[in-house]
Amino acid sequence: MTTSPDSFSIYYHQQTKYTPEGIARSAKPLDWESQPYPFKKYPVGTAIDLIPYLLQAETLTEDPVVLEERKRISKLLYLSYGVTAVVPYPDHPFYMRAAPSAGGLYPAEIYLVSRGTQGFPEGLYNYQVKDHSLIRFWDSPVWDKFLATCFLHPYLRQATLALVTTTLFDRSRWRYQDRAYRRVYLDTGHLLGNIELAGTLMGFHAGLLGGFYDDGLADLLYLDIEEEAPSAVVALLENPEGERPEWEGSLVLPSEKCIDYPEVEAGALLRFMHNHSKIGQSPRVSQPAATEQDKYNFPFCLKVSTEAEPIIWQDKLEATIIQRRSTRQFTGEDLTIRELQQILSFTYLPTKYDSQGFDPSPEYFDLSLLETFVAVTGVIGIDEGCYYYAPQARELRQIRFKNFRREINYLCLGQDLGRDAGAVIFHTADLKKAVDRYGERAYRYLHMDAGHLGQRINLAAIRLDLGVSGIAGFFDDQVNEVLGIPEDEAVLYITTLGRPSRRGGT
């Protein structure tokens, strides 16, 4: 394996690739005794129980403004990351949440920052997932400092409430070692997808910020900087008419690029990667994001239109989020072309869903950096093979003709989901280009955007009564080689789609 002089992100990505030889060498049993507890506890603070606002709001006799505000925040948090199923293991129950998480490790936390509203007096709150409550652990003025750590972002000048997502690396590193850095940001992307979608249900536009003074924001939230780090800020913008707030230029901020780095040992890669993707007190300005264009065209290839009637949601978004589970087993039966087309349309063409009350322009960090490839192994109406998905032209362009079932099973580390899926979606990016635009911070943005797209894919599939599961463990280089995905495209994430086996779970 070569190390690249280009940037630390590229080096980190190479060092954390799974290879058939490496995985055999590094496989060791998990030490269940040392697994970090996935819930944060606060010894001091005032709790606001959000359950009544979720379940019995009509019986509450509070001031109507307070009631309405707490109802909205209660539901927003529940649909984003609340407990949607409990597996009653004898020694300790396993709490499953509205957003999926690699290995069910849930490294994310959510904080609410309030400028001071009737329902939420100014201060800092942590969302206690298990109890569905908010604990107000800081009750002094905080908004001005918050605004400063986010470089006076215009969204926060407008908003009165904002969410901050953070990540506790050890919850995921315990199992995935250095490669956990990829997974925690994919997880966070899924969570951001839920916040975005649940936000529209509650009349908020999720104004997304990824550029902030990392250590300043961690300090503001009283995080232990060795354990926990802010990952994204979401301004909750009142947006009932679907209008976007006014702002100028690109607000996706870069960090420095790290081209001069030592050889970092296994075990220290995650921390080094994180520290070198931080933004300090004075941010650099980024180039404006490129307009999204279809990157690959192959003049004589087979092309398949992905135009389809939109999915009819009929107010089922909330139920879909609550019912969503990662499918544990597919039957191996085919999907239909219409199902795949509809999943792609919901994921990539949000304007088509405007009339159904969805946000027509959900925010990502920079989708122009992400590409999508689809391996079709069983879709009635589409030839088998690997395709590039061109969202602007709304078509699949075939790059290789073959049924890859057996290979995908192997590439996904022998997981049956890969073998029995009808279609497998790959999100990729040119890391060099991404780092040139956003410094090492690009690595976070790419994984969060891929997770966010993944969450839309998940929910569309569940709405269509299909099975779906993310896969973040795969033999990186072999995916490109076998499927014919250009080698500049680093594979970030895989989402499998198929018919769910009702015996093997959802």
Judged by beta carbon, residue 74 or residue 101, the one nearer ligand FMN is 101
Distances (CA, A) of 213 to 146, 210, 280, 498: 10, 10, 5, 42
Q: Which of 183, 257, 274, 441 binds ligand FMN (CB under 6 A)?
A: 183
Stretch that binds ligand FMN, among 7-15, 229-237, 270-278, 470-478 (CB under 6 A): 470-478
Of 74, 3, 15, 457, nearest to 270 by C-alpha is: 15
Q: Specify the residue for token string 């329902």.
A: 119
Q: Is 504 in the site for ligand FMN (CB under 6 A)?
A: no
90: exposed, middle or buried (C-beta count within 10 Å: 0-12, 13-18, 19+)? exposed
Q: Is 180 in the site for ligand FMN (CB under 6 A)?
A: no
Q: Is 90 helix (H, G, I), strand (E, B) or coil?
A: coil
Q: Is 165 in the site for ligand FMN (CB under 6 A)?
A: no
Q: Is 175 in the site for ligand FMN (CB under 6 A)?
A: no
Q: Is the dihedral of CA 231, 237, 241, 247 positive or negative?
A: negative
CA dist 173 and 266 (Å) reads 12
- x/- contact string, 310-329, with ligand FMN (CB under 6 A)? ---------------xx---
Judged by beta carbon, residue 258 or residue 471, the one nearer ligand FMN is 471
Least separation, in Å, of the C-beta of 324 and ligand FMN?
Answer: 7
Which parts of 177-222 fold into alpha helices (H)?
180-201, 214-220
Distances (CA, A) of 142 to 113, 122, 124, 233, 323: 8, 7, 8, 15, 37
C-beta separation of 395 from 304 below 8 A: yes
Q: Is 187 in the site for ligand FMN (CB under 6 A)?
A: yes
Q: Is 492 in the site for ligand FMN (CB under 6 A)?
A: no
CA dist 456 and 247 (Å) reads 26
Q: Is 172 in the site for ligand FMN (CB under 6 A)?
A: no
Least separation, in Å, of the C-beta of 446 and ligand FMN?
Answer: 13
Residues 418-457 that bind ligand FMN (CB under 6 A): none
Q: Is the dihedral of CA 272, 274, 279, 280 positive or negative?
A: negative
Stretch that binds ligand FMN, among 96-104, 202-210, 242-250, 266-274 (CB under 6 A): 96-104
Q: Is 470 in the site for ligand FMN (CB under 6 A)?
A: yes
Stretch that binds ligand FMN, among 94-102, 131-139, 338-346, 355-363 (CB under 6 A): 94-102
Give Cα 238 to chain centroid, integer Å. Answer: 23
- x/- contact string, 102-131, with ligand FMN (CB under 6 A)? xxx---------------------------
Q: Is 101 in the site for ligand FMN (CB under 6 A)?
A: yes
Least separation, in Å, of the C-beta of 192 and ligand FMN?
Answer: 12
Q: Which of 340, 386, 471, 490 binds ligand FMN (CB under 6 A)?
A: 471
Task: State the amino acid at position 71 in one-letter form.
Answer: K
Q: Which of 96, 223, 251, 270 binds ligand FMN (CB under 6 A)?
A: 96
- 108-114/94-97 β-pairing: unpaired
Q: Which of 108, 236, 273, 417 binds ligand FMN (CB under 6 A)?
A: 417
CA dist 72 and 506 (Å) reads 29
Q: Is 100 in the site for ligand FMN (CB under 6 A)?
A: yes
Give contact residues for ligand FMN (rule: CB under 6 A): 96, 100-104, 183, 186-187, 190, 325-326, 415, 417, 469-473
